Structure 1
């Protein structure tokens, strides 16, 4: 499978060339164009399940991804006996990043940052803790495991930050991070636990403190800040 990321970093799209019988999973609504010979199968965003009870479980898992994680309830599988080309574009203007999983590595990504994947890559919904839920800054994560390729999109540009020790970043700017690191969510400026004063009046909301050795990918813009800026003009 070959891929190209074009028109980046501000308005990137992903072009994937599928070999015969290769399969690409993509977020619903992301397809820009495709080769006519390719087949597209739509299914719930909760794995390939069989049997009645498995399908019921898959429905509620997809429902949670939609209303808690900001993902689509459905995904599309592109494949074909002759192969072909698929072009995907995320909803937001920004960069697309490619990561490869080898079956041993775990990658956490913001749930809304998932664009597409191949191979045996599996994604599970994970929460960043109670404080991240009340913070409203999107610390609902996807835990990516397995073997294959993953493509991740951002709002704005992406910067890779090597971490060896401690690193603090606003939760709204996190795109992805290596799964071997530990993290905790706290109010900006607080040295210990949760500070109500910092949370309410600093204008910074919540931050994530990473510990260990690994990499964190951050985006140059904050979608929550954009929503807050636009909302007064909608009334």
Structure 2
């Protein structure tokens, strides 16, 4: 399988498959495919596995696309402005935020991942359930905004505003740290930071969808008498 990512801030990954190769994706991400692609829809491992993916923000069913001849193409597009992040798994595992999964080769296993620490689940910005990608092959993750990659040494820590964690290696310890100082809590960044401790790699997203939505709220109409023109007044 070969791929190309196009589209800038509104990205699409175009995969070129040879005969017999298969890609899978969450329902609704496929933008186009050539005529010699065969599609099959199933839970990807049974009903329980499908329900688990639903808890992590994806759909119960996965779509499988198999090339019936060489050089068939299929495109998977992101649903929000941001990046499509390609990761090649070689028997390794990546933990992603909810809704991170866009598409993957058939050999990649898509499952759920539970946060083990109560505080991180309650205040870490993503809830208790994340997504886990393991096996061999390419997986494409949908990231909000731009993405910054950090490689943390053993014991090295980084603090993030909750919601900015896009993905991380499973060796990363994920916890929370309370913001110190009453003024900082009342007028600063809130009660908690997400605290990540190495060793391992972390991918940070610059514009979580929740923050984008919050930024738009003041410009949305609040009654039937208001016009959508308020969005374009600035």
**TM-score, normalized by the shorter chain, greater than 0.5:** yes
Instruction: Report the 3-state secondary structure (helix = DSSP H, G, I; strand = E; otherwise coil) of the residue aligned with 2:68.
Output: coil
Matched residue, 1:48: 45
Instruction: Report the 3-state secondary structure (helix = DSSP H, G, I; strand = E; otherwise coil) of the residue aligned with 1:154.
Output: strand
Instruction: Show structure 2 runs of 5+ residues with no match.
Output: 223-234
Superposition map of 1:128-143 within 5 A: 128=115, 129-135=117-123, 137-139=125-127, 140-143=129-132
Q: Can you list the C-alpha shifts for 1:152-185, whole angstroms capped at 9, x where unaligned?
A: 1111111111212111212311111111222213
TM-score in terms of structure 1 length: 0.81
TM-score in terms of structure 2 length: 0.81
Is it true that 1:4 corresponds to 2:4 in the alignment?
A: yes
Q: Can you list the C-alpha shifts for 1:94-125, whole angstroms capped at 9, x where unaligned?
A: 1111111111x221111211111114211221
Instruction: Report the 3-state secondary structure (helix = DSSP H, G, I; strand = E; otherwise coil) of the residue aligned with 1:112.
Output: coil
Shift of the alpha carbon at 1:223?
A: 1.6
Matched residue, 1:18: 17
Q: CA distance change for structure 1 residues 200 and 117 in 2, over 3 Å: closer, same or farther? A: farther
Counterpart Cα distance in 2 of 1:234 and 1:134 = 31
Matched residue, 2:108: 121
Larger Rg, first or second structure (1 or 2): 2
Does the CA contact (< 8 Å) of 1:119 and 1:147 recur in 2? no
Q: CA distance change for structure 1 residues 115 and 202 in 2, over 3 Å: closer, same or farther? A: same
Superposition map of 1:1-235 within 5 A: 1-8=1-8, 10-44=9-43, 47-49=44-46, 55=47, 57-58=48-49, 62-66=50-54, 68-83=55-70, 84-103=72-91, 105-128=92-115, 129-135=117-123, 137-139=125-127, 140-164=129-153, 165-187=156-178, 189-190=179-180, 202-204=188-190, 206-231=192-217, 233=220, 235=222
Counterpart Cα distance in 2 of 1:206 and 1:36 = 51
Instruction: Show structure 1 runs of 5+ residues with no match.
Output: 50-54
Q: Can you list the C-alpha shifts for 1:59-117, whole angstroms capped at 9, x where unaligned?
A: xxx33433x422222221110321410011011111111111111x2211112111111
Does the CA contact (< 8 Å) of 2:100 and 2:131 recur in 1? no
Aligned residues: 216
